[in-house]
Structure formats: C-alpha cells, structure tokens
C-alpha cells in the first residue's frame, strides 16, 4: 500500500465514527476498499462517504473495451442496433468523475441496456489511436458518440467533456427516438 493510501486509512479511522453519527455506518473493512480506489488512480473516491454519495458501489455497464481501429470495427460489426462509443483514458480525471457519477447512475445504467456501449481506451496514445480519434471526430477523452444501427452518428447526441447523468440521459433519449 502506498503512503497516500496509508494516510487515507489513518484519516478514515477518524472519519468512520463521524460518518456513523451522520447515519451512514462505515465498516472497518470498507476503509481498505476505499484505499484501493486510491491505488486504482481515484484519489477522491474515499471522500464519497463523507457526502453520502456511495454511487461508487453501483454496478457498471459492461463495455466492450477496445484500443484500436480493428477492435472498434469488430465491436461495431457485433452490434446489431444502437451503440455508444466512449473515448476514455486512465489518466483522464473527467473520465473518472463520469465513471463515478454519470455511469454509476441507476437511470443511466437502465438506458445503457438498450444499446451496445464500447469503450475506446486511449491511455497508450500513438498514431493508430490518433487515426481512430480522427475517424470519430474526437480530439480526445472524454467523448461519447452515439451511433444508430447504420453506424451513423445520431445528430445532437454527442457529449464532450465532463458530463452528468442528466446529460447522458438526454443523449440516450435522443438515440432511442
């Protein structure tokens, strides 16, 4: 465990009784799960318990994870209907916020069930990924492109930057019309 994770564990030992007084009990083993979020690159994850936001525990949509153009072609070939292409990266802070809030929202999860979500990971950026971004008309993460069954972008549904559940639900509603 890194020094930062140990420090957060130390702080959480003081925060646990305080959170319990607020009505959200924190089991001691939960401290280690929260510290694991730091190890995964989400330093703000453990603070969610202080605001009562435990959406980090919500189930995630199952994305087809691809890292090149051939992978995207294969995923789109396998999709028989609507799809969403989400450009993301491990180093993208806004992508982490989207994962923790917008993608963890129960209504967004339900709406995502009606299409094929595809995640394009651009963490290890190179010429091939630049060509893929050019093909998608994206400058980088986070970008969400919603495609119909003919692989055409649905007008007015593209999302750029840090978005919340309301934004995603608006685009998802636009795709299903």
159 and 72 in a common domain: yes
**What gap in Å lies between CA 91 and CA 34, rounded to an integer?**
19
Domain check: are 118 and 157 in the same one?
A: yes
- The Cα 108–Cα 99 span in angstroms is 11
Statement to judge: residues 20 and 70 lie in one domain: no
Are residue 97 and residue 170 in the same domain, yes or no? yes
Answer for the pair 15, 34: CB distance below 8 angstroms, yes or no. Answer: no
What pLDDT, in 10s, does the model give residues 41-87? Answer: 556 666 655 555 544 444 456 788 888 888 999 999 888 889 999 99
Task: Say whether both 152 and 102 belong to one domain.
Answer: yes
Question: Looking at the structure, do residues 75 and 147 belong to the same domain, yes or no?
Answer: yes
Mean pLDDT, the chain, as a whole number? 78
Same domain (yes/no): 28, 110: no
Q: What is the pLDDT of residue 68?
A: 86
pLDDT digits (tens, 9 = 90+) for 122-153: 998 889 899 999 999 999 999 999 999 888 99
**71 & 36 share domain:** no
User: For the whole prediction, is pTM greater than 0.75?
Assistant: no
Q: Which domain holds residue 81?
A: 64-176
Q: 17 or 79: which carries more pLDDT confidence?
A: 79
If one counts the domains in the chain, the total is 2
Residue 40 and residue 71 in one domain = no
> CATH number of the domain that 94 lies in?
3.40.30.10
Q: What is the pLDDT of residues 151-165, one digit of tens each?
A: 899 999 999 999 999
């Amino acid at each position: 465990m890194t020094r930062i994770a140990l420090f957060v564990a130390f702080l959480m030992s003081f925060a646990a009784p305080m959170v319990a007084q607020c009505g959200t009990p924190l089991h001691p083993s939960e401290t280690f799960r929260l510290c694991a979020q730091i190890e995964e690159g989400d330093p703000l994850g453990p603070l969610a318990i202080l605001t009562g936001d435990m959406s980090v525990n919500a189930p995630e949509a199952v994305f087809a994870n691809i890292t090149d153009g051939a992978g995207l072609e294969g995923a789109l070939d396998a999709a028989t209907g609507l799809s969403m292409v989400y450009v993301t990266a491990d180093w993208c802070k806004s992508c982490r916020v989207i994962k923790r809030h917008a993608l963890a929202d129960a209504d967004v999860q339900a709406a995502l069930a009606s299409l094929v979500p595809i995640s394009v990971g651009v963490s290890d950026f190179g010429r091939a990924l630049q060509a893929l971004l050019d093909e998608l008309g994206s400058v980088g993460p986070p970008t969400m492109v919603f495609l119909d069954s003919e692989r055409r972008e649905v007008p007015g549904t593209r999302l750029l930057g840090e978005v919340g559940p309301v934004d995603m639900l608006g685009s998802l509603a636009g795709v299903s019309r």
